[in-house]
């Protein structure tokens, strides 16, 4: 009998997204599929058991460690039991502490601890800090030899590993292709298959797909040949990296999908694997339409918390992302008509909310954006952003600007009724509360209205409230320098700033009715 008929199936009055209002919705109780001995804990089978018309997969309470992503097909709603349903990461990296300083040019790294699992030819990563502040410095090296407690690498170290910074080496999630991989084939050959098991997710890069990125699942291993769940969508050269990394929940080119009422938890401690970009976010939806994410909590993820790339008609509501290594929320890459409402983005390493490219009518409303390492809201106005609204948010204590605008020749975007307070924490005096900058192209047609922009600290960090600036360091070294003009800044309450409350450079910018704010107009 078909598996989904054998499980518990009931029917609800509410239809799935986009369904006929008179249709009934299948609901599968995933508890009957749960098998903690499997890489997906059996949850993907529950998703696959839905009929072609879709429905709801109801997850039970509990913690479920996954070694692969959950893939949502059209019509699927994945629903948990609130904070009592936790999808968490499985296998950790192996980490070993360096026992003395290692200088640039060295090829020998003394470490302590068991090295039994480390072999000649494996890929290791060198961590200059236990919890690195500069992710680009975590570089890969190949092991040439192991002599007692000394790891000898093939290429010289490019940066100092300080004992005082608790420097480490790590291995166990990366290997390389032993032969070229071609788009369309469903097998790959890898150098160290002992690092993987059937059911594990993998990721590799090469020309042929969006961002030259491909994710898949190993279904069988024979020698150093891995059979994959589906054909490759990229081609990759021999010795290209193969990474046991994955999003927790993903979808590509799907419609009417949803994630509701659950937690996604990454690596709680400092010892997280190397970040490999937004393509492996906690929740990563790509080229999908009519998606909703509600009442979801993502924390400690090793990249962005929630990433929505391309697609249309998306709603993310009542979600929290905190202490992730990338951005909190990341819309972009030609995303249209999306609402991000009532969110919390707290203490993430990069931007709390990151506008990327070609966002059209992508709106952030009534959210708390606090204590993030870079900007509260970053990158608005990069190429193609248009008609976006940032409204009613509280944006406080972030490392750089509260709201960062970096271009948009005719943006028609609105910054309205936000509370922007005490930002530029990491770089005191360098970033304003609201930054109208132009590093790569002109920035114009912004409406900045009704905001409360404050500096309240005894030792202030946010020296300027609202600032227009032509170009901006560090982007000017690219050889581009845009100009800011023709914006409207009105009816804002801007107080307490050391340098100026408002700085204007655009000759056609309108600045009016901003109360007693101290305004500087530069030529």
Cα 162 to Cα 99: distance, rounded to the nearest angstrom: 9
Q: Strand pairing of 150-153 and 139-147?
A: antiparallel
Give tens-digit pLDDT for 246-288.
Answer: 999 999 999 999 999 999 999 988 778 877 678 899 999 999 9
Q: How many CA atoms lie within 13 A of 67 on its CB side?
A: 21
Closest CA to 305 of 286, 324, 331: 324
Please state which CATH number belongs to domain 94-172.
Answer: 2.40.33
Sequential pLDDT tens for the chain (523 residues): 333 333 433 333 334 444 444 456 899 999 999 999 999 999 999 999 999 999 999 999 999 999 999 999 999 999 999 999 999 998 888 999 999 999 999 999 999 999 999 999 999 999 998 765 545 578 899 999 999 999 999 999 999 999 999 999 999 999 999 999 999 999 999 999 999 999 999 999 999 988 889 999 999 999 999 999 999 999 999 999 999 989 999 999 999 999 999 999 999 887 788 776 788 999 999 999 999 999 999 999 989 999 999 999 999 999 999 999 999 999 988 999 999 999 999 999 999 999 988 999 999 999 999 999 999 999 999 888 999 999 999 999 999 999 999 999 889 999 999 999 999 999 899 999 999 999 878 999 999 999 999 999 999 999 999 999 998 755 444 556 789 999 999 999 999 999 999 999 999 999 999 989 999 998 6
Cα 302 to Cα 291: distance, rounded to the nearest angstrom: 23
pTM exceeds cut of 0.75: yes
Closest CA to 471 of 461, 463, 460, 479: 479
Q: Strand pairing of 414-416 and 389-391?
A: parallel
* Helix-then-strand count for the chain, H and E: 2, 47
Q: What are phi and psi of 369, to 5 degrees?
A: -120, 105
Closest CA to 447 of 510, 494, 363: 510
175-243: CATH architecture: Beta Barrel (2.40)
Domain ranges of the chain: 94-172, 175-243
Distance of CA 457 to the CA centre of its chain: 31
Non-local (6+) Cβ contacts of 477 within 8 A are none
Helix, strand or coil, per DSSP, at residue 294 = strand
pLDDT recorded at residue 386 = 93
């Amino acid at each position: 009998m078909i598996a989904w008929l054998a499980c518990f199936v009931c029917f609800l009055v509410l239809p799935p997204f986009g369904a006929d209002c008179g249709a009934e919705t299948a609901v599968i109780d995933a508890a009957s599929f749960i098998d903690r001995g499997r890489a997906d804990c059996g949850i993907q089978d529950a998703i696959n058991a839905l009929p072609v018309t879709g429905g709801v997969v109801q997850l039970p309470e509990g913690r479920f460690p996954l070694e692969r992503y959950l893939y949502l097909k059209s019509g699927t709603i994945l629903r948990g039991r609130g904070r009592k349903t936790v999808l968490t990461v499985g296998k950790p990296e192996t980490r070993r502490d360096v026992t003395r300083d290692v200088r640039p040019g060295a090829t020998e790294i003394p470490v302590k601890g068991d090295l039994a699992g480390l072999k000649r030819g494996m890929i290791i990563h060198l961590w200059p800090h236990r919890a690195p502040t500069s992710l680009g410095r975590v570089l890969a090296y190949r092991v040439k030899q192991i002599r007692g407690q000394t790891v000898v690498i093939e290429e010289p170290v490019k940066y100092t590993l300080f004992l005082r910074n608790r420097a480490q080496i790590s291995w166990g999630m990366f290997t390389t292709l032993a032969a070229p991989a071609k788009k369309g084939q469903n097998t790959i050959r890898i150098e160290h298959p002992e690092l993987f098991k059937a059911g594990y997710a993998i990721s590799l890069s090469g020309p042929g797909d969006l961002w030259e990125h491909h994710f898949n699942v190993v279904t069988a291993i024979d020698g150093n040949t891995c059979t994959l769940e589906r054909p490759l969508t990229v081609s990759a050269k021999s010795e290209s990296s193969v990474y046991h990394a994955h999003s927790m929940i993903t979808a590509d080119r799907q419609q009417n999908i949803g994630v509701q009422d659950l937690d996604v938890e990454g690596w709680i401690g400092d010892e997280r694997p190397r970040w490999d970009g937004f393509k492996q976010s906690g929740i990563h939806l790509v080229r999908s339409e009519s998606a909703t994410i509600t009442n979801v909590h993502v924390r400690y993820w090793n990249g962005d918390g929630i990433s929505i790339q391309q697609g249309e008609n998306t709603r993310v509501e009542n979600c929290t992302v905190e202490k992730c290594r990338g951005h909190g929320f990341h819309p972009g890459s030609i995303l249209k008509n999306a609402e991000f409402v009532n969110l919390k983005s707290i203490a993430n390493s990069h931007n709390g909310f990151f506008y990327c490219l070609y966002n059209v009518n992508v709106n952030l409303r009534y959210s708390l954006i606090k204590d993030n390492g870079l900007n509260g809201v970053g990158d608005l106005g990069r190429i193609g952003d248009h008609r976006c609204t940032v409204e009613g948010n509280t944006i406080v204590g972030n490392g750089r600007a509260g709201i960062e605008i970096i271009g948009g020749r005719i943006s028609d975007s609105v910054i309205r009724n936000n509370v922007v307070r005490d930002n530029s924490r990491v770089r005191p005096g360098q970033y304003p509360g609201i930054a109208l900058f132009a590093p790569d192209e002109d920035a114009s047609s912004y409406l900045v209205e009704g905001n409360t922009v404050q500096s309240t600290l005894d030792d202030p960090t946010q020296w300027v409230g609202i600032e227009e600036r032509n170009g901006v360091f560090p982007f000017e070294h690219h050889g581009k320098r845009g100009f800011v003009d023709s914006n409207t800044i009105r009816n804002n309450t801007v107080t307490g700033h050391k340098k100026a409350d408002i700085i204007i450079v655009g000759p056609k910018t309108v600045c009016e009715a901003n109360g007693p704010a101290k305004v500087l107009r530069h030529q």
